[in-house]
């Protein structure tokens, strides 16, 4: 016997709901179960009917406790429960961005023997929810910690083969995702921010070959492909120059959405990556693209490459080279104009005619004060160090003296005396004071005001935010792969995961960590009964329901699977 709802649609479009006590009985003539109405309770919106049902429930509970009712309910047992809301939301975004359809279409012509799209989604979701190695993803995460529809039949070799497929088709996949996402989210792609970072490996030996000249082979799903030997020693941005590394380049939009990425050998200099980046982005036929990069990209060849074919750029300029920026831009008199909180700007034009160079000299008062206080603290420490050296033997080649002279923290403010000692150089301090809170931006787009140049360059921090997310939140390293094509595929999976996170953060206006923690409160429970096994999804908590609403994702169906 159970409580049954009977709905009746009226002429005016309203729906009336009637409550009935009913039971299912077997009809031997029709050879099927039929419903028999035992009692009509009345309309569901009638307060009297609702109160009668509550009174009936109270009388039943006085005779039978809830524990006895549950214990007698067909021997149902709870086997396990997993966090489900975060993976469910990622899968909904994965489908909304068209990544699922793109991968299925590209993989349709291949006979993999497994679902390559499910394998790639599992690795991307693992990177966003519980980053680890591919072995951990298969042996622990997929088997014990999560349940993904269609991923039950995957094995470890399927994950590696899916990585090979991703690397073999990476260019086409990134291009299609870019056009689909920009149309779907109406992204502003007039500004593209580009930067590089280094990613080190805990190995002793470099890969064989001479960087870009030496190549190694990778067996990809599409065939045999040559790669530059990736792991090389070079200038390490994280100060790990003692081990081999790779260089990763990333282009992002104004909102921080990754557009395309590149992997270069570890001995690649930043300024040499511009030509390939410009060439690759040109293939996408962007109507107008303003390239924004930092001072590490500045060279005469790069400026020529970026401006070729009418290309537009904004570049942060180095200020300590003693060149045109130092002599003419920083020394140009004139008042600064305030354009935003803690940002003042002054336009400086050097040269005449077509060869003129346009600069924006920017000043941040708060940053200038921070740098001044930091320098005062540093000079106080330096004076104490020099006093302690005077009390020692005074050997100009002592270990302490050499360490102080070559220190990146103190060395810039020191000079040698005639007797081989060290003292603070007042001229160097004065030169540093001139640079406090300042940065210089050069651009070749005359349609941009000097305020737009300053504000556009400051948004380069979007790339820095992406690097922090990929290295800390997504754990881009350590990298456990050694084959070049697997290293490239690992970076591609991390960038795809970053894209999903950025979409979620843009919709919720919060960090992915907070979004993920709220969504994890939606769980998937495995229930066992003599009739079979049911995987049931719990109702979203208020915080989880809020996140799903912000993401425009429907609440998950209550039943995930039945066997």
Q: State the pLDDT confidence band at 309, using cuts at 50, 70 and 90.
A: low
Tell me, rounded to whole angstroms, the distance of Cα 416 from its chain centroid.
47
| Of 269, 264, 276, the residue nearest 298 (C-alpha) | 269
381 half-sphere exposure, CB direction, 13 A CA radius: 11
Q: What is the DSSP string of 460-503?
A: THHHHHHHHIIIIIS---S----SHHHHHHHHHHHHHHHHHHHH
Q: Calculate mean pLDDT across residues 347-368.
A: 89
> How many other C-beta atoms are found inside a 10 Å radius of the C-beta of residue 443?
23
Weakest mean pLDDT among 110-114, 233-237, 371-375, 553-557:
233-237
Q: State the pLDDT confidence band at 211, using cuts at 50, 70 and 90.
A: very low
Determine the number of helices (DSSP H) and then strands (DSSP E) in the chain. 19, 20
Q: Calculate mean pLDDT across residues 69-97.
A: 82
Q: Say if CB 267 and CB 234 are below 8 A apart.
A: yes
| Of 185, 323, 334, the residue nearest 256 (C-alpha) | 185
* pLDDT tens per residue across span 320-340: 888 889 888 998 888 999 888
| Of 188, 189, 177, the residue nearest 97 (C-alpha) | 177
pTM metric for this prediction: 0.75
- What residue spans define the domains of the chain? 1-73, 367-433
Q: Is the pLDDT of residue 492 over 90?
A: yes
Does the N-terminal peptide bond of residue 397 adopt cis geometry, omega within 30 degrees of 0?
A: no
Q: Is the pLDDT of residue 223 over 80?
A: no
104/164 Cα distance (integer angstroms):
15
Tell me, rounded to whole angstroms, the distance of Cα 467 from its chain centroid.
8
* pLDDT tens per residue across span 1-48: 778 888 888 888 888 888 888 888 888 888 787 888 888 888 888 888
**The pLDDT value given to residue 214:** 43
Q: What angle do CA 385, 386, 390 make, to 5 degrees?
A: 120
Q: What is the mean pLDDT of the chain?
A: 84
103/91 Cα distance (integer angstroms):
14
């Amino acid at each position: 016997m159970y409580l049954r709802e009977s709905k009746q649609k009226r002429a005016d479009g309203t729906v009336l709901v009637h409550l009935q006590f009913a039971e299912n009985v077997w009809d031997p003539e029709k050879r099927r179960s039929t419903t028999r109405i035992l009692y009509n309770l009345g309309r569901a919106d009638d307060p009297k009917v609702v109160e009668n049902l509550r009174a009936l429930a109270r009388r039943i509970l006085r005779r039978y406790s809830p524990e006895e009712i549950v214990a007698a309910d067909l021997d149902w047992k709870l086997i396990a429960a997993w966090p489900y809301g975060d993976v469910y939301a990622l899968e909904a975004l994965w489908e909304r961005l068209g990544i699922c359809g793109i991968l299925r279409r590209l993989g349709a012509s291949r006979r993999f023997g497994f679902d390559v799209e499910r394998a790639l989604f599992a690795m991307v979701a693992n990177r966003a929810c519980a980053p680890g190695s591919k072995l951990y993803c298969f042996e622990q995460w997929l088997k014990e910690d999560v349940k993904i529809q269609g991923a039950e039949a995957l094995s470890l070799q399927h994950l590696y083969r899916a990585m090979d497929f991703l690397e073999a088709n990476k260019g086409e996949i990134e291009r299609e995702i870019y056009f689909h996402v920009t149309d779907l989210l109406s992204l502003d792609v007039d500004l593209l921010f580009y930067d590089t970072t280094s990613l080190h490996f805990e190995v002793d030996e470099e890969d064989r070959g001479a960087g870009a000249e030496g190549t190694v082979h990778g067996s990809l799903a599409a065939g045999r492909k040559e790669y530059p030997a990736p792991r090389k020693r070079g200038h390490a941005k994280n100060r790990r120059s003692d081990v081999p590394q790779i260089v990763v380049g990333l282009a992002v939009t104004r909102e921080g959405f990754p557009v395309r990425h590149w992997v270069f050998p570890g001995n690649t200099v930043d300024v040499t990556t511009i030509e390939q980046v410009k060439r690759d982005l040109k293939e996408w036929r962007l109507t107008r693209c303003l390239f924004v990069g930092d001072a590490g990209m500045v060279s005469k060849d790069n400026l020529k490459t970026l401006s070729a074919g009418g290309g537009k750029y904004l570049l942060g300029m180095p200020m300590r080279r003693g060149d045109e920026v130092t002599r003419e831009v920083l020394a140009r008199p004139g008042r600064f104009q305030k354009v935003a909180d803690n940002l003042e700007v002054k336009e400086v034009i050097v040269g005449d005619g077509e060869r003129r160079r346009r600069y924006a000299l920017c000043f941040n008062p708060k940053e200038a004060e921070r740098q001044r206080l930091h320098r005062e603290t540093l000079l106080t420490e330096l004076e104490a160090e020099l006093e302690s050296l005077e009390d020692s033997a005074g050997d100009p080649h002592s270990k302490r003296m050499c360490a102080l002279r070559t220190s990146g923290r103190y060395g810039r403010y020191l000079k040698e005396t005639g007797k081989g000692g060290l003292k603070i150089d007042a001229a160097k301090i004065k030169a540093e004071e001139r640079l406090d809170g300042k940065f210089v931006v050069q651009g070749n787009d005359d349609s941009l005001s000097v305020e737009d140049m300053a504000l556009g360059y400051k948004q380069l921090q979007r790339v820095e935010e992406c690097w922090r997310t990929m290295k800390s939140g997504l754990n881009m390293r350590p990298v456990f792969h050694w084959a070049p094509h697997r290293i490239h595929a690992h970076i591609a999976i991390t960038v795809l995961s970053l894209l999903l996170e950025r979409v979620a953060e843009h919709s919720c206006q919060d960090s992915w960590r907070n979004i993920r923690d709220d969504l994890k409160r939606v769980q998937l429970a495995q229930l066992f009964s003599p009739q079979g096994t049911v995987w049931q999804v719990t109702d979203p908590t208020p915080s989880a329901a809020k996140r799903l609403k912000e993401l425009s994702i429907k609440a998950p169906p209550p039943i995930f699977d039945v066997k």
